[in-house]
Amino acid sequence: MTSDLRALATRLRNARRLTILTGAGVSAASGVPTFRGQDGLWRQHRPEDLATPEAFGRDPRLVWEWYAWRREKIALCRPNAAHEVIAAWSRAFPECQVVTQNVDDLHVGAGTRNLTRIHGSIWELSCWDGCAKGAPGWRDERVPLGELPPRCPHCGGLARPAVVWFGEALGGGNLRAAIEATACDLFLTVGTSAVVYPAAGLVEEARRQGAFTAEINLEETPASGTVDLTVRGGAEVLLPRVAELL
């Protein structure tokens, strides 16, 4: 384990372009529930009931109740040591990109630079109804949110969480930024089950372009067999240890 952490620290020291991809595991120590695994959200709910445009079309109130519950939980959470280390690296490295699948904005809270939130933010809303498609969303951090479902301040139609649901494409700019970030020397994937595409394909794309690839995760994932280095353990424990070795 220590030799793996040393190897990762050496790679980091020598990297000019660093890209970090994060998933729910990075926020687990902050108290944000993950999606898969023993206590994961998808153990209690089916994604197709709560996280698809069809589900929202069927029952916007039900979907909003779930998002309002998650917002209440996340509002109590603070960035942990993993977010802090990633934020520090994003400021220290000459070229560092952080791509996250997390919608909790804890990377934002930690002061992360060059952050792409490919699945959006749970603190942002957009219009589902009347506004022209592509109209800008807005930030609403109220907890509780007020009457559900919330309304669009522009047209009075239904508002939706500005997150990416299953079956939806990633915002063009975000996808482009994430793909561009695969051109790097070191691609580090942290706390993601590596099963949801296109995020899950980024590590392979980075490898194809010649990056050294590494994974930090509590458990084995589909990416574990293909990355150059994999380290098992909590991100909030391992990232500070690597930082100490730099």
Q: Which is nearer to ligand OAD, 75 or 218 (CB)?
A: 218
- Which value, to the nearest 10 degrees, does the dihedral of the CA atoms of residues 83, 84, 88, 90 take? 10
- Shortest CB 42 distance to ligand OAD, Å: 7
- Shortest CB 237 distance to ligand OAD, Å: 8
- Shortest CB 221 distance to ligand OAD, Å: 5
The amino acid at residue 116 is T
Pair type for strands 120-127 and 138-139: antiparallel
Pair type for strands 120-127 and 115-117: unpaired
- Shortest CB 218 distance to ligand OAD, Å: 4
CB 208 within 8 A of CB 39: no
Q: Which is nearer to ligand OAD, 9 or 218 (CB)?
A: 218
Q: Which is nearer to ligand OAD, 210 or 225 (CB)?
A: 225
The amino acid at residue 208 is R
Q: Which is nearer to ligand OAD, 94 or 225 (CB)?
A: 225
- Binding residues (CB under 6 A) for ligand OAD: these are 23-25, 28-29, 34-37, 40, 47, 51, 101, 119, 164, 166, 191-193, 196, 216-219, 221, 234-236
Task: Please say if 119 is a catalytic residue.
Answer: yes
3-class secondary-structure state, position 150 = coil
Hey, what are 176's tokens? Answer: 């482009």
Q: Which is nearer to ligand OAD, 47 or 95 (CB)?
A: 47
Q: Which residue is nearest to ligand OAD (CB)?
A: 25
Q: Which of 45, 83, 107, 119 is catalytic?
A: 119
DSSP H helices in the chain? 2-14, 25-28, 41-44, 47-50, 53-58, 60-75, 81-92, 106-109, 172-180, 202-208, 235-245
d(CA 115, CA 97): 6
Whether the bond between 198 and the residue before it is cis, its omega within 30 degrees of 0, is yes
- Shortest CB 40 distance to ligand OAD, Å: 5
**Sign (positive or negative) of CA dihedral 75, 161, 194, 228:** negative
CB 107 within 8 A of CB 79: yes
Q: Which residues are catalytic?
A: 119
